[in-house]
């Protein structure tokens, strides 16, 4: 008789994938433990750790006080002592309370001492859930600038598991950006493979010849939808899923752009100094003589994320805009 | 019927104790603990304090002559540094801020290595494998950032059922920070084996203790987190050793965390880039000098342990020789080459950075 829901479920969501991968790593390596607000009995704000307390005990599923700075610093100390903490930020937005331990401790400690800091910072991020200006933000650019961190942003159910496994096993501090929007919307048939997906390797999510769309996280799903629509118009879009923002697999991107001669970069973070600016700049330097059109960015407006549904839709990139922009660039 | 005031009931009340064993002239105020009656141990502590003071003075002199970067002297804090260094067991872990060079010195780190750090070479923070400080953390530079880290260290000890303790120091200024309050509060909840020591040197750069916090003591910040909080005269080596050792023993036994506020005084400027005369009365500093921790222990050693002027001269000569050798070693250590810039950036350098690392090493364009 099946003992838990996972074994009878016919589908695995993006959220299930994170939960299963985390449980598998905690099972495999007793130095891995989860900490954060309400992760214990409550199972986490999004129920990633539902049942973990019973399964792994309160010592390895640590309910922290509401003290992001304090518990992130604590994770640094524990990681430096050889444990592998996985920190759940209830919403990625709250990580601004913990800038100092991430930037000045986690990202510096190995540089200063040669002692690794194997910690995974799980950040439910992004908008489209009508959660408003302090529960919808994209935080990747704040941290992409900091030497010594890695940043991972899975776009698929399989990668949500595989990249989390690699992040936990990595000997560096890793920000793991989980798309709240994809949590329950994205699903694949069970069972899910729980093999590690290497960090720093991008993926061609869809092959194409006319224009390259570079994105990560929810943007990849938008890109795939747009590519499907444009295929019917005879426009062939190649979709690149960065998977890891730091380190960035620029070679895979450059190879694609040299083939298609056109590049569009898409993300949900605000446009100004969004991570797309970095990707666009790298493409510009590496592919200048191959380009038939300016590298174009699609991003959120430079405003906070409003709670109001029509306003949030106006701020964040919509699939229609992705289709139009790709069409325009492909035909330019 | 009771009045509204009468209807109130006292639900808690607290006391803060201050421990002091020797007066400013080194005379005992009570019967001293057994450990304090072992002359060899006190001579060892005094020697350590003399080494720390000589180091502090030399570091400032090196900075003044352009041979060292900005330096934050712990002059006047030698007793509490020595007490911590002596109280920690080999397997305990220490986390501290940049002003407490005395602790790593006590924990076996060579003087030359600490100078190397202050000279701008981060390799100075990788403590040698062979010394008790090996598991200790590098100097924390962002104020109070070390305090939450200590929770993680203590958590690891507790999870592994180890009979070890974590000790973390911070200054009075750091106790104003959220990091500090968050850590003390959580340590109480989890009964972690950690000792928080506030080295209250009365000044947070230019802000005096009275303008940092209206509380009568900083020790009571422990009470707010549900843990023991007490004060000790941090310039009284014997009292400070006693309080620190007791707190560490409690932590190792699983009895939980404790906060110690060690009262001392920053005799030096905040750093060599500061001039404290602009904001601090000379009279206050003169008064603080009367509480000098070395003079106090010296008086006790003379009176109780037969420590003579010749012993002092010999000790000073030995310490000066150690400092002299350290300075030579430090000055002869070459800066790390640009090729090493990326060596420790990640546990393993990602290929995406190979080109930049190659260029930095003089290998051509990134």
Within 8 A of B93 by CB-CB distance, chain A residues are 81
A126/A35 same-domain check: yes
Residue A263 within any structural domain of the chain: yes
Q: Please tell me the distance from the alpha carbon of residue A72 to that of residue A119, in angstroms, as a whole number.
A: 10
pLDDT score at A4: 52
Residues A150 and A209 in one domain: no
Mark which of A140, A157, A189 sits at the end of a domain.
A189
What confidence score (pLDDT) does residue B135 get? Answer: 95
Closest CA in chain A for residue B92: A81
For residue B140, give the 3-state DSSP assignment. Answer: strand
Q: Is the pLDDT of residue A5 over 90?
A: no
- Give the pLDDT of residue A1: 44
Rounded-to-integer distance, Cα A47 and Cα B150, Å: 29
10-residue stretch averages of pLDDT, chain B, 366 residues long: 91 96 93 87 97 98 97 98 98 97 97 97 94 96 97 98 98 97 98 98 97 97 97 98 98 98 97 96 96 96 94 98 98 93 94 92 73
Kindly state the average pLDDT of the residues A107-129. Answer: 97
Regarding whether A288 and A310 lie in a shared domain, the answer is yes
Across A160-171, average pLDDT: 98
Residues A22 and A133 in one domain: yes
In angstroms, what separates the C-alpha of B149 from chain A's closest C-alpha? 4
The answer, yes or no, to whether residue A3 has pLDDT greater than 70, is no
If asked whether residues A209 and A184 sit together in one domain, one would say no
The reply to whether A309 falls in a domain is yes
- A68 in active site: yes
Structural domain contains residue A197: no
Our count of domains for chain A comes to 2
One domain for residues A149 and A109: yes
pLDDT value for B366: 53
Tell me, yes or no, whether A194 lies in a domain: no
Where residue A84 sits, what CATH number does that domain have?
Answer: 3.40.50.970
In a domain, A223, yes or no: yes
pLDDT at A7: 52
Same domain, A69 and A135: yes
Work out the pLDDT band at A9, boundaries 50, 70, 90: confident
- CB proximity B355 to A under 8 Å: no
Shared-domain flag, residues A87 and A184: yes
Whether the full predicted model's pTM is greater than 0.90, yes or no, is yes
ipTM of the complex: 0.94
**What integer pLDDT is reported at residue A2 of this predicted model?**
44
Locate the chain B residue with the closest alpha carbon to A81. Answer: B153
Co-location of A30 and A176 in the same domain? yes
Q: Which of A283, A280, A163, A248 is nearest to B350 (CA)?
A: A248
User: Quick one: A147 and A235 in the same domain?
Assistant: no
Residues 118-177 of B with CB under 8 A from A: 122, 125-127, 135, 137-138, 140-142, 145, 147-157, 159
Nearby residues of A222 by Cβ (< 8 Å), 6 or more positions away? A215, A266, A317, A319, A322
Name the residue range of residue A27's domain: 4-189
Same domain, A122 and A252: no
Classify residue A195: in a domain, yes or no.
no
CATH of the domain at A294: 3.40.50.920
**Separation in Å, CA B366 to CA B42, B354, B356, B359, B363:** 58, 9, 5, 5, 9
User: What is the pLDDT, as a whole number, of residue B1?
Assistant: 86
**A135 an active-site residue?**
yes
Specify if A66 maps to a domain. Answer: yes
In this model, does residue A8 exceed pLDDT 80? Answer: no
Residue B123 Cα, gap to closest chain A Cα (Å): 7
**How many other CB atoms are there within 10 angstroms of residue B146's CB atom?**
30
Q: What is the mean pLDDT of residues A280-285?
A: 98
* Residues of chain B neighbouring A70 (CB-CB closer than 8 A): 148, 151, 178-179, 182-183, 185-186
- The answer to the question of residue A161 being in a domain is yes
Out of A135, A140, A178, A278, pick the active-site residue: A135
Whether A140 and A232 map to the same domain: the answer is: no
Measured in angstroms, the CA of B13 and the nearest CA of chain A are apart by: 25
């Amino acid at each position: 008789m099946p003992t838990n829901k996972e074994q009878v479920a016919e589908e695995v969501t993006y959220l299930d994938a994170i939960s299963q991968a985390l449980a598998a790593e905690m099972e495999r390596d007793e130095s891995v433990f989860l900490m954060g607000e309400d992760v214990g009995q409550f199972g986490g704000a999004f129920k990633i750790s539902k049942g973990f307390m019973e399964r792994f005990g309160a010592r390895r599923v640590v309910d922290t006080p509401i003290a992001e700075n304090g518990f992130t610093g604590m994770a640094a100390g524990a990681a430096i002592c050889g444990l592998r903490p996985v920190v759940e930020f209830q919403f990625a937005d709250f990580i601004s309370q913990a800038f100092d331990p991430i930037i000045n401790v986690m990202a510096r400690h190995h540089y200063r001492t040669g002692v690794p800091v194997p910690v995974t910072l799980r950040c439910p991020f992004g908008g489209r859930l009508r959660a408003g200006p302090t529960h919808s933000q994209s935080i990747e650019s704040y941290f992409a600038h900091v030497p010594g961190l890695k940043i991972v942003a899975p776009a698929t159910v399989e990668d949500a598991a595989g990249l989390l496994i690699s992040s936990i096993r990595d000997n560096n501090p890793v920000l793991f950006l989980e798309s709240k929007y994809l949590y329950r919307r994205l699903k694949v048939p069970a069972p899910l493979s729980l093999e590690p997906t290497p960090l720093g390797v991008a993926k061609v999510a869809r092959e194409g010849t006319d224009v390259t769309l570079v994105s990560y996280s929810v943007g990849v799903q938008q890109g795939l939808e747009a590519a499907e629509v444009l295929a019917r118009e005879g426009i062939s879009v190649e979709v690149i899923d960065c998977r890891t923002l730091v380190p960035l697999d620029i070679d895979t991107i450059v190879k694609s752009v040299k083939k298609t001669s056109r590049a569009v970069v898409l993300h949900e973070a605000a446009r100004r100094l969004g991570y797309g600016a970095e990707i666009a700049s790298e493409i510009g330097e590496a592919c200048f003589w191959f380009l038939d059109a300016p590298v174009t960015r699609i991003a959120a407006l430079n405003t906070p994320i409003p709670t109001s549904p029509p306003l949030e839709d106006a701020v964040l990139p919509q699939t229609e805009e992705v289709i139009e922009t790709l069409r325009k660039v492909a035909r330019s | 019927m009771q009045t509204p005031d009468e209807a109130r009931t006292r639900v808690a009340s607290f006391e803060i104790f201050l421990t002091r064993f020797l007066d400013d002239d080194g005379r005992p105020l009570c019967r001293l603990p057994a450990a304090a009656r072992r002359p060899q141990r006190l001579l060892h502590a005094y020697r350590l304090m003399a080494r720390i003071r000589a180091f502090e003075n030399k570091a400032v002199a090196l900075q003044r002559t352009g041979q060292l970067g900005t330096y934050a002297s712990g002059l006047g804090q030698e007793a509490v540094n020595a007490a911590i260094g002596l109280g920690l067991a080999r397997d305990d872990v220490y986390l501290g801020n940049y002003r407490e060079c005395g602790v790593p010195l006590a924990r076996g780190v060579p003087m030359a290595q600490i100078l190397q750090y202050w000279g701008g070479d981060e390799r100075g923070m990788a403590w040698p494998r062979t010394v008790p400080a090996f598991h200790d953390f590098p100097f924390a530079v962002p104020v109070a950032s070390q305090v939450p880290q200590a929770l993680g260290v203590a958590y690891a000890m507790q999870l592994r059922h180890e009979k070890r303790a974590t000790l973390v120091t911070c200054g009075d200024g750091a106790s104003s920070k959220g990091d500090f309050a968050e850590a003390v509060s959580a340590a109480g909840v989890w009964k972690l084996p950690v000792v928080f020591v506030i080295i209250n040197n009365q000044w947070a750069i230019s802000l005096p203790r009275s303008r940092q916090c209206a509380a009568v003591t900083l020790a009571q910040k422990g009470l707010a987190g549900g843990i023991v909080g007490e004060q000790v005269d941090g310039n009284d080596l014997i009292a400070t050793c006693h309080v620190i050792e007791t707190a560490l023993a409690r932590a190792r036994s699983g009895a939980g965390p404790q906060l110690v506020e060690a009262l001392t005084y920053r005799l030096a400027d905040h750093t060599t880039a500061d001039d404290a005369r602009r904001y601090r009365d000379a009279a206050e500093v003169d008064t603080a000098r009367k509480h000098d921790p070395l003079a106090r222990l010296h008086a006790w050693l003379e009176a109780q342990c037969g420590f003579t002027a010749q012993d002092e001269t010999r000790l000073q000569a030995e310490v000066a020789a150690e400092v002299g050798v350290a300075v030579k070693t430090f000055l002869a250590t070459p800066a790390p080459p640009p090729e090493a810039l990326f060596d420790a950036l990640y546990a393993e350098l990602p290929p995406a950075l190979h080109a930049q690392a190659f260029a930095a090493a003089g290998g051509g364009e990134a």
